[in-house]
Amino acid sequence: MPQTAIAAEQAPTNRALREFLHGLPGVDDVGARERAAGLATRSVKTTAKAAALDLAVRMVDLTTLEGADTPGKVRALAAKARRPDPDDPDAPAAAAVCVYSDLVGVAAEAVRGSGVGVASVATAFPSGRAPLEAKLADTRRAVADGATEIDMVIDRGAFLAGDYRKVHEEITAVREACGGAHLKVILETGELATLDNVRRASWLAMGAGADFIKTSTGKVAPAATPPVVLVMLEAVRDNLAATGRAVGVKPAGGIRTAKDAIRNLVMVQEVAGPRWLDPALFRIGASSLLNDLLMQRAKQRTGAYAGPDYFTID
């Protein structure tokens, strides 16, 4: 565990950041894969499964990030987030809807009064290739329109080139532009090449003031693979010990089945600890996952296998 962490207050130099990030212990790649695979074999059944399914539904950031998104589709998605299964009044609501920044107004209107959050991707999602002014304007506009959470992407080009200060400054600037909104920082681990880089990017984002670290945009494969989530969960656990601040984790992309979601929850419990089994500290970015969770809930409730014809398509 690192003895110190990056202080968010001062503007660190590239050299200081490099010393800190490259001083982090290396990730045992094979060990991480083995550990993740081992945890994936845990059996979660009956009442534990029912509780896990409900928790997973409450953790879903119901996401639509397509060029073809319309206000109507966003409203339909918001309705689904508020009441995922109209047949079952006991089904909990999703955590938030996640949309592009120009549709935040529509989404905020549609979830008003329900407790469902509005997350907006910002800062030239998904590539992150835009001038800082444009990224900040994007963020401010989304917050003004009612976004309660901002999902920003880091500049992977700068990160991979070793320009850690630029990444740090961008996150700090967006953090400021967010005002009261929560900031999730997307590392896009599929482009970071190694688990060592995932660990460094996690610490860099946490040090710059991220409320959440998020694996992926969902536009790049591989996305939220189990070893990556494992390394990020270790980072938030160690960060809590080093700084006393609990940062959340959000895997996104590639989690499509209830089984995948439950495996993620097992990792949360075993790696980060039970404190993270809470939508305030763990989210799952997904769209098709929600229907599979609902089908599994229906199976638990009725005893019969459910079919996709009985759930809304979003």
Partner 1 sequence: MSEHRHDGAAAPRVAVRKTHKLYIGGAFPRSESGRSYPVASADGEHLANAGMASRKDARDAVAAARKAFPGWAGRTAYNRGQVLYRAAEMMEGRRAQFAAELSAATGAGRPEAEREVSAAIDRWVYYAGWTDKAAQVLGGTNPVSGPYDNRSAPEPTGVVAVLAPQDAPLLGLVSVLAPVVAMGNTAVLVASERAPLPAVALAEVLATSDLPGGVANILTGRTAELAPPLAAHADVNALDLAGALDVAGAGDLAADLEEAAAETLKRVLRPDPAVEWEADPGLGRIRPFLETKTVWHPVGT
> Does 305 engage in binding with partner 1 (CB under 8 A)?
yes
d(CA 210, CA 190): 20
CA distances from 74 to 96, 165, 166 (A): 12, 36, 34
Strands lying side by side in the sheet with 284-286: 248-250, 212-214, 182-186, 149-153, 117-122, 96-100, 60-63, 284-286
CB of residue 116 vs partner 1: minimum separation in angstroms?
27
- 151 annotated active-site: yes
Residue among 237, 307, 313, 314 that touches partner 1 (CB under 8 A): 307
* 164: Cα separation from own chain's centroid: 22
Interactions with partner 1, residue window 282-301 (CB under 8 A): 298
> Does 255 engage in binding with partner 1 (CB under 8 A)?
no
Reported as type and span, the H/E element at residue 173 is helix 164-178
Instruction: Determine the interface stretch with partner 1 among 110-118, 218-226, 263-271, 304-312 (rule: CB under 8 A).
Output: 304-312
Q: Which two tokens stand for residue 288?
A: 């098709």
Nearer to partner 1, 38 or 308 (CB): 308
How many residues of this chain bind partner 1 (CB under 8 A)? 9
- 250 annotated active-site: yes
- 166 annotated active-site: no
SS3 101: helix
**Are 217 and 252 spatial neighbours (Cβ–Cβ below 8 Å)?**
yes
Determine which one of 80, 184, 214, 292 is catalytic: 214
CA distances from 85 to 62, 252, 295, 304 (A): 14, 22, 9, 16
> Does 304 engage in binding with partner 1 (CB under 8 A)?
yes
Determine which one of 80, 184, 250, 292 is catalytic: 250
Residue among 310, 312, 313, 314 that touches partner 1 (CB under 8 A): 310
Reported as type and span, the H/E element at residue 122 is strand 117-122
CB of residue 298 vs partner 1: minimum separation in angstroms?
8
Letters for 175-204 (x = contact with partner 1 by CB under 8 A, - = none) are ------------------------------
SS3 68: coil
> Does 309 engage in binding with partner 1 (CB under 8 A)?
yes
Nearer to partner 1, 113 or 307 (CB): 307
> Does 208 engage in binding with partner 1 (CB under 8 A)?
no
> Does 241 engage in binding with partner 1 (CB under 8 A)?
no
d(CA 256, CA 56): 12
d(CA 257, CA 266): 15
Nearer to partner 1, 133 or 305 (CB): 305
CA angle (212 as vertex; 227, 170 as ends), nearest 5: 105
> Does 308 engage in binding with partner 1 (CB under 8 A)?
yes
Nearer to partner 1, 115 or 303 (CB): 303
> Does 303 engage in binding with partner 1 (CB under 8 A)?
yes
Determine which one of 138, 145, 151, 292 is catalytic: 151
Q: Which residues are catalytic?
A: 151, 214, 250
Interface with partner 1 by CB under 8 A: which residues?
298, 303-310
